[in-house]
Amino acid sequence: MSRFLLITADSAFEQKVRLATAGGLPGEVLSVKPELLGQPEDLLDLVAVQQPEVLVLGPGMAVDGALRLATVVDVRFPNVSMVLVTPDESGVALQAMRAGVRDVVDPTSDIPTVRLLLERACHAFASRHRVDSVEAAPKKEHGLVVGVFSPKGGVGKTTIATNIAVGLGKLAPMGVVIVDLDLQFGDVASNLYLEPEYSVLDAVSASASQDTMILKAFLTPHPSGIYALCASSNPADADSITAAQLEVLIKQLAGEFAYVILDTGPGLTEHSLAALEQSTDAVWVTGMDVPSVRGLRSGLDVLGKLDLFPETRHVVLNFADSKTGLSVQDIEATLGAPVDVSIPRSRALSLATNRGVPLLQEDVRDPATKNLRGLVERFDPQWRARAQRKLHRRVVI
């Protein structure tokens, strides 16, 4: 049996792989020329006999042929980690991941890069087999899923969601992901000044739903130390995403991240309801105007009848202004629930949103910054442990 199975006609790359594995990756490397594998069944037989941890396809193989082989291997031997070796070409990485390939590497990569990639593939193989171990590791605790909701649009929901994500990123660096579930017209990408290569549509694909490593490849890193999964730039893609797919996606992310922030679209769509069912915390956002307050009251009434309230909820009053003619008491009486956090109307907050740099990313001195931090604090386990009886306290504008 060989730990690494290499299909290539490139002797220089074969030597590079052997040097890479000799530098700290034990296990035999078996190299086979592509012309010796006339049919896909020949490769399947070889994999069955050798039982490799890592299958390296190329260089020297036609990309289309390598991807077809990868698809077949992924079905028959789902535990094998596959690596495609090909020059960087537009669209190849996405096609490869959909075919079950874990990584794509350029044949000109240096030996340390190849070693790192092979080591990562071996770790992935080991993690897939860990569940079969006699002494299985204890089940990983799922992170908090914070859904941000509002029946009405235009209440600053995405601004709230992105600031929560960035704020939590300081508590748990690289442990936060924000997902844009306003699938038609989401603004998470613009609010974070990102140009994502992938979207939610890619993240709910069959390959991503079966392999968390592939799913993570579709996330976009943000300078603040969080990840983002943005909505597609094509509104029509929303019709291709089902509520069931979103449920699987959210569960996957909650198993990998300490915090999953869901920025939902306006209204009570099937996508929003799916997000609500998976949320451990629900942040309800309303503006300080009669239509948005009444809209939230109607939405809460409907959800109460459907018994869809998460254990913990937080009501956020955005654009708070004492000169609007409404008081906090008026809003609470209409909602039938206390307002937990008020975010004052703020020029600095509007400027930050337009720049694509959340207020909490730069810690701008502003009343809105203080109150946003107070909202973020509500998801800190230490705060929750000592403030259970103070979860809902009347705010002052």
Does the structure show a pLDDT above 70 at 111? yes
Residue 299's identity, in one-letter code, is G
The range of the structural domain enclosing residue 27 comes to: 4-132
Does the structure show a pLDDT above 50 at 300? yes
Residue 395 included in any domain: no
Does the structure show a pLDDT above 70 at 91? no
> 3-state class of 87 per DSSP?
coil
Q: Give the strands of the sheet with 81-85, arranged side by side.
A: 29-32, 4-7, 54-57, 81-85, 103-105
Residue that wins the pLDDT comparison between 360 and 97 = 360
Give the span between the Cα atoms of 353 and 345, in whole angstroms: 13
Does the structure show a pLDDT above 60 at 397? no
167-186 confidence digits (pLDDT tens): 999 989 889 999 999 998 99
Does the structure show a pLDDT above 80 at 38? no
Residue 137 included in any domain: no
- One domain, residues 103 and 200: no
Does the structure show a pLDDT above 50 at 145? yes
Does the structure show a pLDDT above 90 at 325? no
- One domain, residues 304 and 233: yes
Does the structure show a pLDDT above 50 at 389? no
> pLDDT above 70 covers what percent of the chain?
90
Instruction: Summarize the confidence of residues 131-157 as an average pLDDT.
Output: 71
What pLDDT, on the 0 to 100 scale, is given for residue 162? 96
Mean pLDDT of all residues belonging to the chain: 85
Q: Report the chain's C-alpha Rg in angstroms.
A: 25
Could you tell me which of 131, 14, 7 has the C-alpha nearest to residue 78? 131
Residue 139 included in any domain: no
pTM for the whole structure: 0.64
Does the structure show a pLDDT above 50 at 134? no
Tally of domains in the chain: 2
Residue 104 included in any domain: yes
Give the span between the Cα atoms of 363 and 366, in whole angstroms: 9
Instruction: Summarize the confidence of residues 179-202 as an average pLDDT.
Output: 92
- Among 114-128, 192-206, 253-267, name the one with the lowest average pLDDT: 114-128
Residue that wins the pLDDT comparison between 395 and 180 = 180
- One domain, residues 13 and 113: yes
What pLDDT, on the 0 to 100 scale, is given for residue 262? 96
Does the structure show a pLDDT above 60 at 324? yes
- Among 57-66, 183-192, 215-224, 238-247, name the one with the lowest average pLDDT: 57-66
What pLDDT, on the 0 to 100 scale, is given for residue 136? 40
Residue 347 included in any domain: yes
Instruction: Summarize the confidence of residues 38-51 as an average pLDDT.
Output: 82
Does the structure show a pLDDT above 80 at 292? yes
- One domain, residues 108 and 154: no
Does the structure show a pLDDT above 70 at 241? yes
Helix axes 367-377, 347-355, angle to 10 degrees: 70
Residue 359 included in any domain: yes
Compute the residue count for the chain. 397
Residue 102 included in any domain: yes
Please, which residues have CB within 8 angstroms of residue 278's CB and are 6 or more apart in sequence? 145, 147, 246, 247, 250, 251, 254, 262
- One domain, residues 264 and 344: yes
Q: To which residue do tokens 């992170």 refer?
A: 143
What pLDDT, on the 0 to 100 scale, is given for residue 138? 44
What pLDDT, on the 0 to 100 scale, is given for residue 377? 92
Give the span between the Cα atoms of 55 and 79, in whole angstroms: 11
- One domain, residues 125 and 148: no
Instruction: Summarize the confidence of residues 152-175 as an average pLDDT.
Output: 92
Return the CATH number at 313.
3.40.50.300
306-315 confidence digits (pLDDT tens): 777 666 889 9
What pLDDT, on the 0 to 100 scale, is given for residue 127? 67
